[in-house]
Every structure is written in C-alpha cells, then in structure tokens.
Amino acid sequence: MHCSNIENRGLDAETFAFLCDVFGGQPCHRSLGFEIIYLGQGIAGMRMVTDLKYSTGQARVHGGIIASLADTVMSLAASTCGHIYRTAEMKINYLKPVFALTELRAEARVVHPGKTIAVVEADFYDVEGKLAAKSMGTFFRDIKARTVKKGDGTEKP
C-alpha cells in the first residue's frame, strides 16, 4: 500500500511504511474497502465507504462488518507502538445504525501499552459525524511476527 494518502502523525518513516504495507496489503481489508487515514504513536484512523453487499434490512450495515473495522483499527493502533499485536478479545457497543453507501470513520487509541498486552479503545462516526459505535479490545504482542528494525539493525522498542 502506498503511504502517500495517509497522514503520518509522528511515527518514524520506517515504522510508518511498515504498517502501511502490513495493514494495507491484507486481502480482507482491501475487500471490505478499509482505508488508513492516519497513524501516530498509539493512535490510528481508518475509514470505509460502506457497500450494499454488507447490509441487512433497510440498507443497515451488518454489525459484523463494523466489528471487523473495530478489530483492524484497534490492532493497528496497538501496532504503532513498535510490534505487531493480535486480538485476544474485544467488545463493541452499537449506538445507532450505519447505512450502506455512506462513509464510516474509525478512530482508535491505545489506553494501556503494556509489554505483552495492549488495551485499545475506538470510536466510530457516521457520515454526519455522529458517534455510531464504541469498542474496546485487548491485544497481545505477537512475538513471532516481524518487528520494525532501526537503521542500525536493532529491534525497535
């Protein structure tokens, strides 16, 4: 994925490019239309333009699609801390319907950046900028995943 359309809010260039490639290159993310808006230390923003094929009755976006976006944006926010994080658990509260053919924006922030476990929360905004959902998750550091290396070859903390 090209980083040119993604705002870097303070990450070093190597970490920024690595995360753009890892998260932007996932077939699932591309298929669902997820786009990274910004990345910063402990924060991430994503968006998707919802599609009718992901809707239920009355053109409402299926909750599972919103949960997929929640999982992705929270994991991405955790991973801005220098390691890849995987989902241990998450919950989501749906506050209002999101309709197909509109934009859904997700903003995640790390609440607790532990050495092995990160706690992350996210807010989801509909096309009118109204809060549509809230999510919280626990993510574990994937010690087998590649980490970003500094220019001198040492592991980034």
pLDDT band with cut points at 50, 70 and 90 for residue 151: very low
| 7-141 CATH | 3.10.129.10
* 69-78, 91-100, 143-152, range with the lowest pLDDT: 143-152
**Hey, what are 75's tokens?**
């994991």
Starting from the edge strand earliest in sequence, which strands make up the sheet with 103-113, in order? 7-9, 35-40, 43-49, 103-113, 117-125, 131-141, 85-94
Sequence-distant contacts of 142-145: CB under 8 A, at least 24 apart: 142/83, 142/84, 142/85, 142/86, 145/83, 145/84
The pLDDT value given to residue 145: 80
Q: Which of 112, 116, 110 is nearest to 142 (CA)?
A: 116
How far separated are the first and last CA of the chain, in Å rounded? 24
Query: Sign of the CA dihedral 45, 50, 55, 60?
Result: positive
On average, the pLDDT of the chain sits at 91
- CB 24 within 8 Å of CB 73: no
pLDDT of residue 94 exceeding 50: yes
For the chain, the helix, strand and coil percentages under 3-state DSSP, each to the nearest 5: 25, 40, 35
Structure token digits, residue 3: 């980083």
pLDDT tops 50 at residue 153: no
Cβ(54)–Cβ(112) under 8 Å?
A: no
